[in-house]
């Protein structure tokens, strides 16, 4: 008969011979073949470290039922994937947002990430420790998504598509549970204090021994649910940290609560002088109160994004001829027409087909002022239609929408811990280790001194000097500042963005589509070599249809059926080339065309782009691009703050000089290749500068990767956005100085928080060690210290726009125009 528990899932072994497996020379017993098989799989992949570091049993292995197998197989269908899978810019990879069930500790996440990472066709899996949201990037041509679901299931976990409403439900459950624990601790604290008063007077005025014993037993009864229920998170977290050889603030807290309660229970049962039930209840209450307020601040920081995701409709009113039908958004295909009524939340990304209205885009940009939308304009999921009906043509739904991308970025930022937070955690761990040595020494010293307060003082030292505030100092400030930037339309896309922004002293701009509007217009066409103007425009449009550069938008109205170019190549910072009717055709600036066909440099090459067929120049196109309305004020604001500004562009030097002069940028360079821009950044870096790069087009990619912080405008190419450290959702350059100002305020706030936390702990330690602070007051002081840090960090999210003082009124129409280069 097998006895004991299963090595994998910790379920009791019942009946019959145990299923065994030898692990590192020792026989291990399992409750079933499933658990043994999973353990063998973990060993085969050299992942058995999970058994050493886990803080809870692994989920019980079980076989997939036929129904579950059929459900998982459905995830391979494109229609089903639309709700949680998006295509990455390279066209080869896909990213799925999943919710993993059955995770009980950090070891579970480590096992999942490493197991999936070893699967063929998987680039990586990352799991958020708080929400259990997983981001899976894989190659669908190499492995089916259903196979990866099965790989997760074979470890005993369950995976399902991420649902924002489910995340909202989890958050509400967490908040409700924390509130109940807080109430239980509060009621216990009040009752125990009421019972403690007679005990205090009993020590002085001779309250009868029987009555004192009765009050102690009632206090034990009151304190027990507080310890077992309200304080359970402290014990659970402390046990987890000890198992993983990591010291956190929960270790001294759990130790103090456990020691005080145990000692008081022993005194109550066997007799003695002092009990600490009121102290146990009160500092459990104060600690729970501080944690609850911190949790609410954390939830509020992410509430707007999660709410936007959960409130986006999953149905739409599709128009089919003269009929309308309500369908799931995942049944829609690109081009389907959808009717929207006043006040509707737009369910998908699309292009306005008919109707004029205003749209509230606060869910995307944080800007509550409605913007006008008319036929040809783009609208996005999660935004709200104004007071007029609208018909749009769907372009993207579900995980492919702009809102879904923003939510994925926000989740990635929350999962990445910046260097300052990691350093604070290490300092807190050292402080906890020191505290666990100092507290017993203090207690021993008082015991040797012959006082009866040794245990009381040791508890006070454990609680008063717990570094909760130190651990909260950095993450709360970063979360609050990130949320404030998000409302300003500046979306940090990396965990280190805010920290790095605070150190910037030099800002480098691209020209086309960054300082200029990027919405180019064709102002003239010179048709040459007996080509008609219409044919020149049609061939140019057939080439430019393969580009995402702002130049391509100028030719979009001239696309004609029957005109197509094969084998098109994008020459970064140059132009496009391809094959048309057996001849090589190219479009671009003069330097590029000269290199392609040995043509002489045209007289006005800097102001136009050319079109060649074979070795013959057949057209010159005149383009116009105006400065952004806030370009001048942005440069002025940056200069006023003492930052250097530079302009690097692939355009002709004469036009780069015009833009630099108009904006007030003194350091500029034109006719730059991507390599030239990167070399210029390296030269600035060698001079000791910390560089922020602001760009828009494909030719900014190498420079973005070489800058300390990179910012892409909201309409930049997808690949650029993914490589950038931040995105301007409103496409307003004025957000850049605002972000730099807020980043420096965030750094200052973090230093204030760290100074307060360290100062409090340094002051509290001698006071508690001297016996001046009782345990319950120590708990109040420690909780108050944490609240000061949290409230100070929340000020970052309440401040008015930091860039407001730099506004300069200009008339964009009076500014010079510039001409683009790729």
| Model confidence pLDDT, tens digit, residues 464-523 | 877 777 777 787 788 788 888 888 888 888 888 888 999 999 999 988 778 888 777 788
- pLDDT of 606 reads 41
Q: Is 259 within a domain?
A: yes
- pLDDT of 601 reads 44
Q: How sure is the predictor about 249, in pLDDT bands with cuts at 50, 70 and 90?
A: confident
Q: What is the CATH number of the domain that holds 6?
A: 2.30.170
Q: Which residue has the tokens 């996440």?
A: 109
Q: Buried b vs exposed e over 751-774: b needs ≥16 C-beta within 10 Å?
A: ebbbebbbebbeebbebbbebebb
Q: Same domain for 580 and 641?
A: no
Residue 704 has pLDDT above 90, yes or no: no
Residue 161 has pLDDT above 90, yes or no: no
Residue 801 has pLDDT above 50, yes or no: no
Residue 120 has pLDDT above 70, yes or no: yes
Give percent above pLDDT 90 in the chain.
18
Output the average pLDDT for the chain.
Answer: 80
Q: Same domain for 269 and 330?
A: no
In contact, 623 and 551? CB cutoff 8 Å: yes
Strands (E) in 275-381, as ranges, are 315-320, 323-328, 337-340, 349-354, 357-360, 371-373, 378-379
Q: Same domain for 179 and 295?
A: yes
pLDDT digits (tens, 9 = 90+) for 577-630: 999 988 899 998 777 777 665 555 444 434 578 899 888 888 888 887 788 889
Q: Same domain for 512 and 637?
A: yes
Bridge partners, 390 (sequence order): 340
Q: What is the CATH number of the domain that holds 575?
A: 3.40.1110.10
Report the pLDDT averaged over residues 789-794. Answer: 84
- pLDDT of 60 reads 55
Q: Is 292 within a domain?
A: yes
Q: Same domain for 631 and 611?
A: no
Strands (E) in 283-348, as ranges, are 315-320, 323-328, 337-340
Which stretch of 304-313, 402-411, 659-668 has the lowest confidence by average pLDDT? Answer: 304-313
Residue 801, sorted as left (phi over 0), alpha (psi -120 to 50) or beta, turns out to be beta
- Out of 138-152, 168-182, 427-441, the most confident range is 138-152
Q: Same domain for 592 and 732?
A: no
Give percent above pLDDT 70 in the chain.
84
Q: Is 95 within a domain?
A: no
Report the pLDDT averaged over residues 57-72. Answer: 70
pLDDT digits (tens, 9 = 90+) for 187-242: 998 888 888 776 665 554 555 567 778 888 998 999 999 999 999 988 888 886 77
Residue 534 has pLDDT above 80, yes or no: yes
Q: How sure is the predictor about 54, in pLDDT bands with cuts at 50, 70 and 90?
A: low
Whole-angstrom distance, CA of residue 519 vs CA of residue 516: 8
- Out of 141-145, 243-247, 608-612, the most confident range is 141-145
Domain edge (last residue) among 348, 381, 397:
397
The length of the chain in residues reads 822
- pLDDT of 207 reads 52
Whole-angstrom distance, CA of residue 789 vs CA of residue 297: 12
- pLDDT of 29 reads 79
Residues involved in catalysis:
510
Q: Same domain for 650 and 687?
A: yes
Q: Same domain for 335 and 391?
A: yes
Angle between helices 277-311 and 468-487 in degrees, nearest 10: 20
Sequence-distant (6+) residues with CB within 8 A of 478 are: 418, 420, 421, 498, 499, 746, 750
Residue 699 has pLDDT above 60, yes or no: no
Residue 391 has pLDDT above 90, yes or no: yes
Residue 810 has pLDDT above 60, yes or no: no
Q: Is 143 within a domain?
A: no
Report the pLDDT averaged over residues 743-758. Answer: 90
Report the pLDDT averaged over residues 148-172. Answer: 79
- pLDDT of 88 reads 81
Residue 744 has pLDDT above 90, yes or no: yes
Domains identified in the chain, total number: 5
Residue 99 has pLDDT above 60, yes or no: yes
Q: Where are the alpha helices (DSSP H) in 206-249?
A: 209-225, 232-243
Residue 804 has pLDDT above 70, yes or no: no
Pick the residue with more confidence: 465 or 683?
683
- pLDDT of 809 reads 34
Cα torsion for 35, 37, 43, 48, to the nearest 10°? -10
- pLDDT of 401 reads 83
Q: Same domain for 497 and 640?
A: yes
Q: Same domain for 256 and 272?
A: yes
In contact, 526 and 619? CB cutoff 8 Å: yes
Q: Which residue has the tokens 């850049």?
A: 736
- pLDDT of 432 reads 80
Sequence-distant (6+) residues with CB within 8 A of 145 are: 75, 76, 81, 85, 94, 96, 138
Q: Which domain holds residue 506?
A: 489-516+627-741
- pLDDT of 58 reads 57
Residue 656 in tokens: 């780069």
Domain edge (last residue) among 10, 39, 61:
61
Residue 671 has pLDDT above 70, yes or no: yes
Q: Is 479 within a domain?
A: no
Which stretch of 60-64, 257-261, 491-495, 589-593 has the lowest confidence by average pLDDT? Answer: 60-64
Q: How sure is the predictor about 639, in pLDDT bands with cuts at 50, 70 and 90?
A: very high
Q: Is 239 within a domain?
A: yes
- pLDDT of 484 reads 86
Give the H/E segment covering residue 123: strand 122-127
Q: How sure is the predictor about 722, in pLDDT bands with cuts at 50, 70 and 90?
A: low
Q: Is 701 within a domain?
A: yes
Q: Is 595 within a domain?
A: yes
Q: Same domain for 648 and 608?
A: no
Domain edge (last residue) among 18, 36, 61:
61
pLDDT digits (tens, 9 = 90+) for 555-579: 888 888 888 889 988 887 678 899 9
User: Strand 817-818 and strand 583-588: pairing?
Assistant: unpaired
- pLDDT of 802 reads 41
Q: Same domain for 503 and 619?
A: no
- pLDDT of 668 reads 92
- pLDDT of 222 reads 93
């Amino acid at each position: 008969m097998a006895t004991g528990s299963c090595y994998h899932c910790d379920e009791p072994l019942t009946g019959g011979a145990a299923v065994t497996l030898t692990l590192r020379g020792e026989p291990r017993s399992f409750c079933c073949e499933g658990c043994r098989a999973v353990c063998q799989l973990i060993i085969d992949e050299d992942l058995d470290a999970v058994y050493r570091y886990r803080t809870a049993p692994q989920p019980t292995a079980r076989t997939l039922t036929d129904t579950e197998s059929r459900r998982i197989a459905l995830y391979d269908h494109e229609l089903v994937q639309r709700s949680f899978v998006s295509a990455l810019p390279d066209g080869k990879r896909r990213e799925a947002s999943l919710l993993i069930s059955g995770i009980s500790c950090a070891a579970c996440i480590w096992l999942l990430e490493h197991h999936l990472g070893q699967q063929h066709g998987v680039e990586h899996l990352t799991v958020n420790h708080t929400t259990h949201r997983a981001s899976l990037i894989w190659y669908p041509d190499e492995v089916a998504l259903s196979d990866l679901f099965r790989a997760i299931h074979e470890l005993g976990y369950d995976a399902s598509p991420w649902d924002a409403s489910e995340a909202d439900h989890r958050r509400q459950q967490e908040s409700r549970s924390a509130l109940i624990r807080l109430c239980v601790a509060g009621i216990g604290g009040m009752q125990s204090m009421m019972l403690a008063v007679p005990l205090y007077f009993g020590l002085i005025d001779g309250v009868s021994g029987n009555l004192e014993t009765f009050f102690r037993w009632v206090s034990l009864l009151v304190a027990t649910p507080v310890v077992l229920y309200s304080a359970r998170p402290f014990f659970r977290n402390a046990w987890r940290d000890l198992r993983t050889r990591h010291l956190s603030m929960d270790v001294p807290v759990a130790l103090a609560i456990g020691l005080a309660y145990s000692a008081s229970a022993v005194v109550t049962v066997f007799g003695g002088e002092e009990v600490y039930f009121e102290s146990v209840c009160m500092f459990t209450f104060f600690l729970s109160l501080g944690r609850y307020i911190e949790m609410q601040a954390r939830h509020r920081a992410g509430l707007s994004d999660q709410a936007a995701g959960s409130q986006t409709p999953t149905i739409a009113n599709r128009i089919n001829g003269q009929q309308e039908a309500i369908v799931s958004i995942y049944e829609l295909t690109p081009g389907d027409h959808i009717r929207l009524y006043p006040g509707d939340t737009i369910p998908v990304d699309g292009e306005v087909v008919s109707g004029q209205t205003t749209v509230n885009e606060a869910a995307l940009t944080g800007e509550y002022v409605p913007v006008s939308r008319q036929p040809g304009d783009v609208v996005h999921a999660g935004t709200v239609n104004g007071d007029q009906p609208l018909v749009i043509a769907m372009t993207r739904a579900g995980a492919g929408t702009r809102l879904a991308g923003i939510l994925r970025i926000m989740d990635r930022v929350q999962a990445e811990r910046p260097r300052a937070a990691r350093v604070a955690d290490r300092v807190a761990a050292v402080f906890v280790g020191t505290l666990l040595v100092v507290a017993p020494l203090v207690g021993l010293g008082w015991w040797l001194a012959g006082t009866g307060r040794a245990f009381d003082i040791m508890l006070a030292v454990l609680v008063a000097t717990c570094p909760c505030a130190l651990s909260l100092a950095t993450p709360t400030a970063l979360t609050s500042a990130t949320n404030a930037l998000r409302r300003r339309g500046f979306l940090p896309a990396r965990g280190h963005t805010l920290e790095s922004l605070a150190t910037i002293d030099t800002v480098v701009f691209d020209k086309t589509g960054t300082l200029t509007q990027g919405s180019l217009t064709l102002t003239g066409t010179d048709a040459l070599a007996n080509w008609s103007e219409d044919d020149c425009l049609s061939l140019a449009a057939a080439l430019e249809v393969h580009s995402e550069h702002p130049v391509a938008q100028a030719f979009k109205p001239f696309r004609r059926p029957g005109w197509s170019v094969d084998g098109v190549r994008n020459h970064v910072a140059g132009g496009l080339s391809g094959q048309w009717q057996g001849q090589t055709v190219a479009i671009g600036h003069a330097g590029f065309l000269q290199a392609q066909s040995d043509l002489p440099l045209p007289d006005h090459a800097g102001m136009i782009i050319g079109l060649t067929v074979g070795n013959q120049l057949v057209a010159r196109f005149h383009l116009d691009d105006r400065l952004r309305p806030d370009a001048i004020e942005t440069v002025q604001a940056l200069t006023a703050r003492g930052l250097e500004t530079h302009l690097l562009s692939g355009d002709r030097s004469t036009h780069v000089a015009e833009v630099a002069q108009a904006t007030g940028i003194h350091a500029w360079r034109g006719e730059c290749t991507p390599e030239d821009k990167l070399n210029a950044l390296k030269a600035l870096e060698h001079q000791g500068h910390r560089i922020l790069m602001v760009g828009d087009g494909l030719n900014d990619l190498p420079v973005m990767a070489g800058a300390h912080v990179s910012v892409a405008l909201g309409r930049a190419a997808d690949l650029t956005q993914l490589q950038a450290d931040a995105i301007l959702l409103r496409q307003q350059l004025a957000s850049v100085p605002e972000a730099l100002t807020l980043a420096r305020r965030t750094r200052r706030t973090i230093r204030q928080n760290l100074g307060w936390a360290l100062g409090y702990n340094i002051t509290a330690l001698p006071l508690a060690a001297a016996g001046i602070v009782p345990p319950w007051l120590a708990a109040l002081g420690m909780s108050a210290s944490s609240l000061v840090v949290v409230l100070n960090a929340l000020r970052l999210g309440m401040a008015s726009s930091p860039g407001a003082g730099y506004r300069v009124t200009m008339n964009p129409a009076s500014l010079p125009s510039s001409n683009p280069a790729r």
